[in-house]
Amino acid sequence: MKGGSFSSSFNPPLLCTTETRSRAFAKLLLTLLGFCLWGVAVAFLFGGAFMIITYKSFKVFFQSPFFPLPGCLAFVTASLLFLTGALAMLTPVKNSRPHQGMLLYLSVVLFCLEASTAVVTQLYLTQEAHHLTSSVCSLFHQYNRTVPNDSSNEAVDAVQQQLQCCGIYNRTDWFVLAPPNHLQMAPVFAPKSCCKEAASECADHVSQPEALFDEGCLQKLGERLRFVRHYLNWCCLVAVCLGMLTVISNGVLMKQQPFQDFCILDSANFS
């Protein structure tokens, strides 16, 4: 009696038919999601590198020492995304519980890490954007033409050359930033770092706009901060969406593949 009940419950042809369309689709989707996760990982690497390079190049304008923290979190997220993507492509092939469980665990860890990256990025970059005006104005007003090797001069020249900007808001700021004894004298010259062309060929007269950069450095730095903030936030959003699809696809495989070791405990086997 029991033997007949067990044989009717455990039907090998019936187990073979469990490879349904939803299971096949979940396997295909997991493989595609693995490649997508790798692509997002590359995007996170770019965003993290861009943020750390921004901090190293213009750190004198940023007050918080934790400014590069979102970039470091982006690198950690990218490494886990590479691992999760590889596991997502391997799970449909191996079709084993350990791989499925590890994929689910990494997906949860990634969700927490991506949420932390988005919050930290929004917090620190918004805070730095509020203090950016005072930092830029302070350094530009400390510019001293009589001391070429002054640290403030080097910082101002570096930001004007790298961002191709001139002055705080525009080139006319150098009328105000010029030394007091220079205001009664004409002409007023901007620093050589404002020149569009080579310094030896540039006529750095403020009244000759064609030779100088048009935009101010405050605007350029603000655009750089906004770009990296929006970029990392969008990366986090895309990664969260891909992670949800990965969890759903993995859940389909786990649901349609019962724990065979515990099938004998099914109540139907004892009826």
pLDDT band at 52 (very low <50, low <70, confident <90, very high): very high
With 50 as the cut, is the pLDDT of residue 249 above it? yes
Residue 174 burial by CB count (10 A; 0-12/13-18/19+): exposed, middle or buried? buried
What per-residue confidence (pLDDT) applies to 181? 52
Rounded mean pLDDT of 156-165? 87
C-alpha dist (Å) from residue 269 to 13, 41, 113, 171: 18, 47, 44, 85
Strand segments (E) across the chain: none
With 70 as the cut, is the pLDDT of residue 203 above it? no
What's this model's pTM, rounded to 2 decimal places? 0.78
Reference 133, options 193, 224, 229, 219; nearest CA is 219
Largest distance between two CA atoms of the chain: 112
With 90 as the cut, is the pLDDT of residue 61 above it? no
pLDDT band at 6 (very low <50, low <70, confident <90, very high): very low
With 50 as the cut, is the pLDDT of residue 14 above it? no
pLDDT band at 209 (very low <50, low <70, confident <90, very high): low
Q: Give tens-digit pLDDT for 258-269.
A: 545 444 445 554
What per-residue confidence (pLDDT) applies to 116? 93
| % pLDDT > 70, the chain | 75
With 60 as the cut, is the pLDDT of residue 18 above it? no
Residue 180 burial by CB count (10 A; 0-12/13-18/19+): exposed, middle or buried? exposed
270 Cβ contact partners less than 8 Å away, ≥ 6 residues apart: 2, 5
Answer for the pair 171, 207: CB distance below 8 angstroms, yes or no.
Answer: no
